[in-house]
Amino acid sequence: MNIQTALDSQLSRFESQLALLSSAFLRHEPSELVATSAELQSMVVLFAKVIQPVAASLKTNPSAQWRVKRIAAQLDALRQGILRNSVVVDRALATLMPSCQENTYAPKTGAYPRQPYGSAGRQSGEFRSLSA
């Protein structure tokens, strides 16, 4: 039973961390979202280690199976929500700061008849004599 209680406690911790992550997502708190997702990531690694020895007993425990499936569904829903939020942010940024299709740097000398910036100096004919 010790293995079963370890699994139940790990599942409870995982569910509470998912609840914290979803509340941070719903409140649009980016710093809290980063912290809770990092903690959830470390919990996933620990959960993978815990689940390996009890995988056989998990098949005979329908409540634990249901909890694992519910956690997987919550993770999937959070992932989709975060991806949708990312698309909204990308579109808002594209509206505020549209990307330019022009080159960042000036073209090579002679590509255009007149290049006022970022090109080698050219003689304009305005000053025909030099004075000291």
pLDDT at 118: 54
pLDDT tens for each residue of 15-31: 999 999 999 989 988 88
What is the value of pTM for the model shown?
Answer: 0.64
- For residue 24, the number of C-alpha atoms closer than 13 Å in the C-beta half-sphere is 18
Q: What's the mean pLDDT when you consider all of the chain?
A: 79
Average pLDDT over every residue of 40-57:
82
Give the pair of three-digit tokens for residue 58. Answer: 């998990």
Q: How far apart are CA 12 and CA 84, in angstroms?
A: 28
Domain boundaries, the chain: 2-96
Q: Are 25 and 81 within 8 A, CB to CB?
A: yes
pLDDT tens for each residue of 70-108: 999 999 999 999 899 899 988 998 888 877 666 566 556
Query: Which band of pLDDT confidence, cut at 50, 70 and 90, is reported for residue 124?
Result: low
